[in-house]
């Protein structure tokens, strides 16, 4: 077993703990609004409905429902602690927070019944805030690791075309990259898998403005390629310029769902929920 395979085994074991929701949806539905975005009578490409999630006793995600159309970019915004990361983690089925209720559908498949590993295999691509570059592996090995289990997404060369800096540093150990380069690697690694929904948690966090601009340009390219994306960002203005639609969370509940421009135009709304 080579280094990449060994790491894959470890990653699998860690990701395999979360099982299906193991809850019955019959009769026990909390009041919630079923997402209504449909295309020609068909369910939306991605849909989550009435998700409730807990860390231990702490009730954090409190009945979140929203849809994403295929090819759309949605900005998921809200103050610190509003529940944005928890919502992404719930969708990616990572096990913490524990989702106790709700439905999550992607391209007609019930993600709520899947483990984190299965959700990833079925097209959920979470790029976590901490980037999780694997220690001891080069840039290229990090990318290869993402492709070890089919279905494969982008080729490694295509990822280098999108992020030339990664190509230049292909043999460098991933954890020694700069913050911006690590963010590129984290995104590249996700594109290396065959994803249907890209979930980005604060891709600009901790990066210098010039690097933010560089990542922004890449995300514009990703948008033009029609990759369905949910982006969480403290830099709400940047996210709103990128996104078609915005969802604002406050204390674990959705308080706004509409076009991005509406948030850009509404200073009162921004002040109240985003403090900007
Ligand atoms: N592992 C955990 N155990 C207990 N509580 C948690 C845990 N992770 C997050 N929380 C709590 O859940 C709430 C929502 O956190 P979450 O990380 O989802 O917020 P966020 O909107 O992503 O905030 P930020 O903008 O600061 O990243 C917060 O009150 C946080 O303290
Ligand atoms: Mg967060």
* Spatial contact of 197 and 230, defined as CB atoms under 8 Å apart: yes
Residue-wise pLDDT for 235-248, tens only, equals 999 999 999 999 99
Residue-wise pLDDT for 124-158, tens only, equals 999 999 989 999 999 999 999 999 988 899 999 99
Q: 80 in ligand 1 pocket by Cβ < 6 Å?
A: yes
**DSSP structural state of residue 167:** H
Does residue 46 have a cis peptide bond before it, meaning omega lies within 30 degrees of 0? Answer: no
| Mean pLDDT computed over every residue of the chain | 88
Q: Compute the distance between CA of residue 227 and CA of residue 71 in angstroms, rounded to an integer.
A: 5
* Residue-level pLDDT at 150: 86
Q: 252 in ligand 1 pocket by Cβ < 6 Å?
A: no
Domain range 3-273, CATH class? alpha beta
Q: Mean pLDDT in each 10-residue stretch from start to end of the chain (276 residues)?
A: 52 38 37 51 85 98 96 96 98 97 96 96 96 95 93 96 97 96 96 97 94 93 94 95 97 97 96 92
Q: Ligand 2: distance of its center to the CA of 35 in Å?
A: 23
Which residue's CA lies nearest to atom 2 of ligand 1? 55
Which residue's CA lies nearest to atom 24 of ligand 1? 80
Q: 253 in ligand 1 pocket by Cβ < 6 Å?
A: no
Q: Compute the distance between CA of residue 161 and CA of residue 157 in angstroms, rounded to an integer.
A: 6
- The number of the ligand 1 atom at minimal distance from the alpha carbon of 202 is 27
* Residue-level pLDDT at 17: 36
């Amino acid at each position: 077993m080579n280094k990449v395979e060994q790491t894959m085994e470890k990653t699998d074991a860690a990701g395999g703990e979360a099982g299906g929701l193991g809850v019955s949806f019959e009769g026990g539905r909390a009041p919630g609004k079923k997402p209504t975005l449909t295309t020609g009578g068909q369910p939306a490409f991605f849909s989550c409905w009435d998700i409730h999630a807990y860390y231990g006793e702490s009730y954090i995600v409190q009945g979140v429902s929203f849809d994403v159309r295929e090819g759309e970019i949605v900005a998921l915004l809200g103050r610190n602690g509003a529940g944005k990361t928890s919502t992404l983690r719930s969708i990616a089925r990572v096990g913490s927070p524990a989702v106790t209720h709700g439905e999550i559908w992607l391209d007609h498949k019930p993600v709520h019944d899947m483990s984190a590993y299965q959700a990833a295999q079925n097209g959920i691509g979470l790029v976590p805030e901490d980037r999780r570059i694997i220690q001891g592996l080069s840039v290229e090995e990090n990318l290869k690791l993402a492709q070890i289990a089919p279905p494969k997404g982008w080729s490694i060369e295509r990822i280098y075309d999108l992020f030339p800096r990664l190509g230049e540093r292909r043999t460098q150990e991933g954890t020694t990259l700069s913050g911006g380069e690590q963010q590129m690697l984290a995104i590249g690694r996700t594109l290396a898998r065959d994803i249907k929904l890209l979930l980005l948690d604060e891709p600009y966090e901790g990066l210098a403005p010039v690097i933010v601009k560089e990542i922004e340009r890449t995300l514009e390219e990703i948008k033009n390629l029609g990759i369905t994306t949910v982006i969480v960002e403290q830099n709400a203005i940047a996210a709103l310029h990128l996104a078609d639609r915005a969802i604002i969370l406050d204390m674990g509940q959705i308080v706004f769902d509409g076009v991005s421009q509406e948030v850009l135009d509404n200073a009162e709304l921004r002040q109240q929920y985003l403090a900007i």
